[in-house]
């Protein structure tokens, strides 16, 4: 056999084969014959012979071949992401002539889902992540899109696109189950029969089936003994996880409880916090109180390994930074020579850093993460010269230090001879010092466009209207005032309106000591022992104002922070606190910052400045509140600018009116800056020509649920895109905030067809009803769904730069999935779009005016096919259910020919029996009827639509 075409099939392999009763001489001989044929380096060793980790690394093994996981080195190999596979893996490589997925060949009996590959349809992203994590914990795999490798589709709705696609396959190979199947498999740690979990139309039947299955599982779970790696932990689940009670949140909570932990909704009673991002009040509180802070990946890891691990030992086991590292956003990174879990880890690390991961390598890539110096990707990167080749340590240490490392450092380009970096991957831990510095310095707020000041998990994407640190402190003080005012209405005026007001003497004393070391200090919140009710009465939680203990500092003060819960939602409104107390504190700080003294009150000028500062902040807070009340969508840059300008104009208008009344207008104008003079011009116009009620209404902040949050009479919102997209073949599970954000940018997503559709969003060219019907519209673009996710991510990371938003052309399926384009259309995607647009402009259709005869057993059913045909111009449709209905040619539905032309027919059928019957009729009686027509398969219709011209293929019989 000639192996010249696949000589690299086992490239870089160096195998340690562990002989045992499960892998005897006969199996080893069969496997070694293949290895010798391909010149693969390997060593055979008895499984009971001890080999240390150091010896394993020194030998440079890349894989362990063993038909059992019961050997001392297995734990090390698993945690080091070194593939451990059965001997069948070698045979499968030769059979497929390529390297398959590692997971199906695991020898670990706990990997009960190793032969399962799931795809999730119709569920939110957070639910998908939980399900994928559970499947991987039991040894299974997952796919973001439906493909030939998928074995199970997880869904709760048979009307979801993915379910429709699966059900239209003539020979269903994919099983559709509800998420409960995964949940119960996790509980018992075995692969359960899918029958009770099959998704069916009858909701009552499904509910009864699930109830019975759940009862059986719970009963069995109580009787079995399982590992409890989380025993002793009290876990608080962060609101940014956005868990849904209907599906995966039940899974996550049950996993935690079955692992021995308890779940609490009071962070004061918790010793562990699990969240998604490194921001928000909950995260900060957890870090300040020295709770163990982890991500859901930590839970998934312990589910798989069945033992406890500190969340700081693994990089991805701590919450991610929202938006990633700013310096990484422009990077496009691919990887090579990583397999199995190591490849998955590298992919997730790139994603967590905010860069883009690509499975293929092209000249647009900026970096290639290589495990060794071999392979086509490595050679191409070196040849091109513009792609930087480094090992995974560059990723890991950049993440651990949260600082972009130089690729020129020898440590990141060091590849010893025939030495794979895999044995080191995943061993870099988090650095507590970096995390604490991160929190103290406020870098988290600087790397994201969100400020989580609101006790509502649904408002996490609100844009920061107040960018300076001082203003953020003021906002926090005002919000704290609102919280305390709500909770302690019976308290004194000071405690109800100020933010943790303190006794003046204590405040001054504390500040004296601090100001000896630092002249300017930010406004801090302290708790008044006399005026604020204790934590156990008012529900607030004491939190250290400093994370790291300072041995030289005085006693640490504590902030009183009221924490949000999943069930708490408060309607926020503009606040009007008693400003005297807040002003007094600001004035005091203003005085001490400038002179270094410890006086309590400053002069009139400082007081006026502080008053103006607070007034401006309150105005901006009012805008912030109105934005939250409408829909919590980040404003576009021009909307923010219009807002701020409007505030300045209104303020100048009032000052101008007062100046004219007092006769000091000239004095006012003489002291204005250049910017203020420009504002004055608009203010003068308002004073001379008072705005009408209609104009005033147009210039105010909009609180309607429409996409645009702020409108101004002189400023119109500009949009980056003009996209009305039909979504098919993927789950457009954007939350309300993200949907409104996209709408503000000119992007509207629909699950059902609308008259203004101009875009198809799909992972590939699909044969779904939506996709085929959409091509009868004025379609301008056919793009991959990643476009919308990237738009949201990019905008959140930098809302000021609309030019940096993704370009549509980069997401065309002709670029991102050229194979599906070539498979389905011979004219190419651009030509298909031009023909769609031409047909729409000329009000013509591919099957304009034709009559169709169809059989009832076509894939997908009569109704969907009829809708597709009529969308593309078919006039009449006649359905034949059995062969008996086709007695003569007169039974057919014909398209009447023009004068001098014959009547024609189209008979659409995939049934051999009925096609044979019609052919016989046409051959015997066709001439006497003076007709023409054709018998075609369903693929003829699809091919005609995908090329916008009548296909010449898939014609069963044609009568000229």
Residue closest to 785 by CA, chosen among 121, 142, 243, 320 = 121
- The model's confidence at residue 574, banded by pLDDT at 50, 70 and 90, is very low
**Predicted confidence (pLDDT) per residue in 348-400, tens digit:** 999 999 999 999 999 999 999 998 888 889 999 999 989 999 999 999 999 99
CA 198 to CA 12: how far, in whole Å?
43
**Predicted confidence (pLDDT) per residue in 259-272, tens digit:** 889 999 999 999 99
Please indicate, yes or no, whether residues 743 and 693 belong to a single structural domain of this protein. Answer: no
pLDDT at 382: 92
CB-CB contact of 634 with 793 (8 Å): no
CB-CB contact of 864 with 858 (8 Å): no
Residue 457 covered by a domain: no
Kindly state the average pLDDT of the residues 408-415.
82
* Residue that is last in its domain, among 224, 239, 266: 224
Please indicate, yes or no, whether residues 477 and 600 belong to a single structural domain of this protein. Answer: yes
Q: Residue 902 in 3-state DSSP?
A: coil
Residue of higher predicted confidence among 650 and 403:
403
CA 577 to CA 597: how far, in whole Å?
28
CA 937 to CA 948: how far, in whole Å?
17
- The model's confidence at residue 705, banded by pLDDT at 50, 70 and 90, is very low
Q: For 39, phi and psi rounded to 5 degrees?
A: 60, 45
pLDDT at 173: 80
Residue 494 covered by a domain: yes
Residue 389 covered by a domain: yes
Candidate from 36-40, 655-659, 831-835 with smallest mean pLDDT: 655-659
CA 709 to CA 630: how far, in whole Å?
7
Residue 708 covered by a domain: no
Report how far apart, in Å, the C-alpha atoms of 81 and of each of 76, 310, 430 are: 9, 18, 18
Residue whose tokens read 């013509």: 844
Please indicate, yes or no, whether residues 580 and 470 belong to a single structural domain of this protein. Answer: yes
CB-CB contact of 185 with 191 (8 Å): yes
Please indicate, yes or no, whether residues 517 and 604 belong to a single structural domain of this protein. Answer: yes
440: containing domain: 227-318+430-448
pLDDT at 861: 82
| Number of other CB atoms surrounding residue 131 within 10 Å | 23
* pLDDT of residue 914 exceeding 90: no
Residue of higher predicted confidence among 858 and 593:
858
CB-CB contact of 405 with 398 (8 Å): yes
Q: Residue 226 in 3-state DSSP?
A: coil
Report how far apart, in Å, the C-alpha atoms of 628 and of each of 392, 462, 702, 712 are: 42, 7, 11, 19
- The model's confidence at residue 540, banded by pLDDT at 50, 70 and 90, is very low
Please indicate, yes or no, whether residues 585 and 507 belong to a single structural domain of this protein. Answer: yes
Candidate from 23-27, 52-56, 285-289 with smallest mean pLDDT: 52-56
- The model's confidence at residue 54, banded by pLDDT at 50, 70 and 90, is confident
In CATH, what number is assigned to the domain containing residue 434?
3.40.50.10190
Please indicate, yes or no, whether residues 473 and 582 belong to a single structural domain of this protein. Answer: yes
Please indicate, yes or no, whether residues 444 and 410 belong to a single structural domain of this protein. Answer: no
Residue closest to 140 by CA, chosen among 185, 98, 79, 175 = 185
Residue of higher predicted confidence among 864 and 891:
864
- The model's confidence at residue 538, banded by pLDDT at 50, 70 and 90, is very low
pLDDT at 706: 35
Residue 400 covered by a domain: yes
Q: Residue 770 in 3-state DSSP?
A: helix
Q: Residue 877 in 3-state DSSP?
A: strand
Most confident of 87-101, 605-619, 685-699, 722-736: 87-101
Residue whose tokens read 């003060």: 557
Q: For 935, phi and psi rounded to 5 degrees?
A: -100, 125
* Residue that is last in its domain, among 840, 874, 895: 840
Please indicate, yes or no, whether residues 510 and 541 belong to a single structural domain of this protein. Answer: yes
Within 114-169, where are the H helices?
125-137, 161-168
Within 442-578, where are the H helices?
443-446, 469-487, 493-497, 504-515, 535-538
pLDDT at 40: 92
Residue 715 covered by a domain: no
**Predicted confidence (pLDDT) per residue in 737-767, tens digit:** 888 889 889 999 988 888 889 999 999 999 8
Kindly state the average pLDDT of the residues 727-741.
83
* pLDDT of residue 188 exceeding 60: yes
Please indicate, yes or no, whether residues 508 and 564 belong to a single structural domain of this protein. Answer: yes
Please indicate, yes or no, whether residues 735 and 836 belong to a single structural domain of this protein. Answer: yes
Candidate from 211-215, 347-351, 679-683, 767-771 with smallest mean pLDDT: 679-683
Kindly state the average pLDDT of the residues 150-173.
84
Residue of higher predicted confidence among 874 and 592:
874
pLDDT at 6: 66
The DSSP result for 810-825, as a single string, is GGBHHHH-HHHHHHH-
pTM > 0.75: no
Residue 137 covered by a domain: yes
pLDDT at 223: 77
- 876: β partners: 851
Residue of higher predicted confidence among 816 and 884:
816
Residue 716 covered by a domain: no
* pLDDT of residue 932 exceeding 90: no
pLDDT at 230: 92
pLDDT at 83: 92
Residue of higher predicted confidence among 468 and 919:
919
**Predicted confidence (pLDDT) per residue in 594-613, tens digit:** 333 333 344 444 545 555 55
- The model's confidence at residue 768, banded by pLDDT at 50, 70 and 90, is confident
Domain count, the chain: 8
Candidate from 12-16, 294-298, 451-455, 489-493 with smallest mean pLDDT: 451-455
* Residue that is last in its domain, among 389, 417, 448: 448
pLDDT at 524: 36
Please indicate, yes or no, whether residues 826 and 855 belong to a single structural domain of this protein. Answer: no
- The model's confidence at residue 545, banded by pLDDT at 50, 70 and 90, is very low
pLDDT at 578: 39
Residue whose tokens read 């799909």: 762
pLDDT at 688: 56
Q: Residue 757 in 3-state DSSP?
A: coil
Give the side-chain half-sphere CA count within 13 A for 710.
27
Please indicate, yes or no, whether residues 220 and 231 belong to a single structural domain of this protein. Answer: no
**Predicted confidence (pLDDT) per residue in 628-682, tens digit:** 444 444 455 555 667 777 788 888 887 878 777 767 777 777 777 777 777 777 7
Give the side-chain half-sphere CA count within 13 A for 189.
18
Q: The dihedral of CA 451, 453, 457, 459: what is its sign?
A: negative
Q: What is the DSSP letter of 726?
A: E
CA 931 to CA 129: how far, in whole Å?
59
- The model's confidence at residue 477, banded by pLDDT at 50, 70 and 90, is very low
pLDDT at 787: 92
**Predicted confidence (pLDDT) per residue in 785-796, tens digit:** 999 999 998 888
pLDDT at 702: 32
Average pLDDT, the chain: 75
Find the angle CA(353)-CA(399)-CA(275) to the nearest 5 degrees: 70
pLDDT at 205: 87
């Amino acid at each position: 056999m000639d192996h010249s075409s696949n000589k690299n099939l086992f490239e870089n392999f160096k195998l340690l084969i562990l002989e045992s009763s499960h892998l005897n001489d006969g199996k080893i001989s069969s496997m070694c014959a293949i290895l010798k044929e391909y010149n693969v380096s390997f060593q055979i060793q008895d499984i009971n012979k001890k080999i240390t980790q150091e010896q394993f690394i020194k030998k440079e093994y890349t894989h362990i071949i063993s038909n059992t996981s019961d050997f001392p080195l297995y734990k090390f190999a698993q945690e080091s992401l070194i593939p451990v596979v059965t001997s069948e893996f070698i045979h499968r490589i030769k059979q497929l002539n390529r390297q398959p997925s590692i997971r199906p060949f695991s020898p670990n009996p706990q990997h009960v889902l190793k032969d399962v590959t799931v795809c999730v349809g119709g569920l939110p992203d957070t639910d998908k992540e939980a399900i994928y994590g559970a499947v991987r914990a039991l040894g299974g795999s997952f796919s973001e899109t439906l493909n030939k490798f998928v074995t199970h589709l997880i869904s709760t709705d048979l009307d979801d696109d993915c379910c429709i696609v699966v059900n239209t396959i003539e020979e269903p190979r994919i099983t559709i189950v509800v998420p409960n199947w995964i949940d119960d498999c996790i509980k018992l740690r075995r692969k359960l029969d899918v029958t009770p979990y099959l998704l069916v139309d009858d909701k009552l039947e499904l509910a009864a089936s699930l109830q019975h299955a759940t009862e059986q599982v719970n009963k069995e779970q109580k009787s079995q003994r399982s590992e409890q790696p989380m025993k002793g932990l009290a876990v608080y689940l962060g609101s940014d996880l956005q868990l849904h009670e209907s599906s995966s949140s039940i899974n996550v909570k049950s996993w935690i409880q079955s692992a021995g932990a308890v779940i609490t909704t009071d962070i004061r009673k918790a010793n562990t916090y699990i969240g998604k991002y490194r921001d928000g009040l909950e995260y900060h509180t957890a870090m300040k109180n020295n709770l163990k802070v982890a991500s859901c990946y930590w839970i998934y890891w312990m589910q798989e390994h069945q033992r406890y691990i500190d969340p700081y030992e693994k990089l991805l086991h701590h919450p991610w930074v929202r938006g990633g590292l700013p310096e990484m956003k422009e990077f496009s990174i691919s990887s090579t020579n990583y397999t199995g879990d190591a490849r998955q880890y590298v992919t997730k690390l790139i994603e967590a850093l905010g860069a883009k991961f690509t499975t293929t390598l092209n000249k647009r890539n900026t970096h290639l993460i290589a495990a060794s110096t071999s392979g086509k990707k490595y050679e191409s990167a070196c040849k091109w010269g513009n792609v930087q080749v480094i090992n995974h340590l560059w990723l890991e240490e950049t993440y651990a230090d949260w600082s972009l490392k130089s690729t020129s450092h020898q440590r990141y380009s060091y590849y010893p001879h025939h030495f794979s970096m895999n044995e080191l991957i995943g061993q870099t831990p988090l650095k507590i010092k970096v995390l604490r510095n991160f929190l103290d310095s406020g870098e988290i707020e600087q790397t994201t466009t969100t400020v989580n000041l609101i006790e509502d998990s649904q408002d996490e994407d609100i844009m920061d209207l107040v960018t300076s640190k001082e203003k953020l402190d003021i906002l926090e003080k005002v919000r704290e005032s609102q919280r305390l005012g709500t909770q302690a209405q019976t308290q004194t005026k000071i405690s109800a309106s100020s933010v943790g007001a303190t006794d003046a003497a204590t405040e001054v004393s504390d500040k004296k000591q601090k100001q000896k070391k630092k002249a300017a200090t930010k406004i801090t919140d302290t708790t008044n022992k006399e005026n604020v009710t204790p934590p156990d009465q008012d529900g607030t939680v004491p939190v250290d104002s400093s994370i790291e203990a300072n041995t030289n500092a005085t006693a640490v003060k504590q902030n009183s922070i009221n924490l949000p819960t999943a069930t708490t939602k408060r309607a926020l409104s503009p606040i009007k606190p008693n400003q005297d107390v807040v002003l007094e504190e600001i004035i005091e700080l203003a005085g001490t910052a400038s002179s270094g003294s410890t006086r309590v009150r400053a002069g009139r000028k400082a007081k006026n400045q502080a008053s103006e500062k607070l007034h401006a902040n309150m105005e901006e807070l009012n805008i912030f509140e109105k934005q939250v009340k409408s829909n919590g969508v980040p404003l576009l840059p021009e909307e923010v600018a219009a807002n701020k300008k409007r505030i300045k104009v209104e303020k100048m208008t009032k000052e101008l009116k007062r100046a004219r009344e007092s006769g000091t207008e000239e004095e006012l104008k003489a002291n204005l800056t250049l910017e203020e003079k420009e504002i004055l011009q608009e203010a003068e116009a308002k004073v001379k020509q008072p705005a009408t009620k209609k104009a005033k209404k147009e210039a105010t902040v909009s609180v309607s649920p429409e996409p645009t949050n702020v409108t101004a009479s002189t400023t119109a919102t500009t949009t980056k895109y003009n996209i009305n997209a039909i979504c098919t073949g993927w789950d457009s599970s954007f939350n309300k905030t993200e949907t409104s954000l996209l709408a503000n940018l000119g992007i509207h997503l629909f699950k059902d067809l609308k008259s203004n559709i101009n875009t198809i969003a799909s992972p590939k060219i699909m044969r779904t009803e939506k996709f085929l019907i959409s091509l009868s519209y004025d379609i301008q673009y056919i793009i991959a769904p990643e476009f919308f996710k990237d738009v949201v991510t990019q905008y959140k990371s930098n809302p000021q730069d609309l030019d940096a938003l993704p370009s549509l052309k980069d997401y065309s399926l002709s670029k991102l999935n050229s194979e599906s384009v070539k498979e389905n259309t011979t004219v190419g995607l651009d030509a298909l779009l031009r023909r769609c647009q031409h047909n729409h402009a000329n009000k013509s259709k591919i099957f304009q005016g034709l009559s169709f005869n169809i059989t009832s057993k076509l894939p997908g059913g009569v109704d969907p096919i009829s809708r597709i045909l009529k969308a593309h111009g078919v006039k009449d449709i006649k359905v034949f259910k059995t062969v008996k209905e086709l007695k003569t040619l007169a039974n057919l539905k014909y398209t009447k020919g023009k004068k001098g032309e014959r009547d024609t027919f189209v008979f659409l059928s995939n049934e051999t029996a009925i096609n044979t019957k019609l052919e016989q009729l046409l051959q015997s009686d066709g001439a006497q009827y003076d007709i023409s027509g054709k018998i075609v398969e369903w693929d003829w219709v699809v091919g005609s639509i995908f090329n916008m011209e009548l296909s010449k293929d898939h014609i069963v019989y044609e009568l000229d």
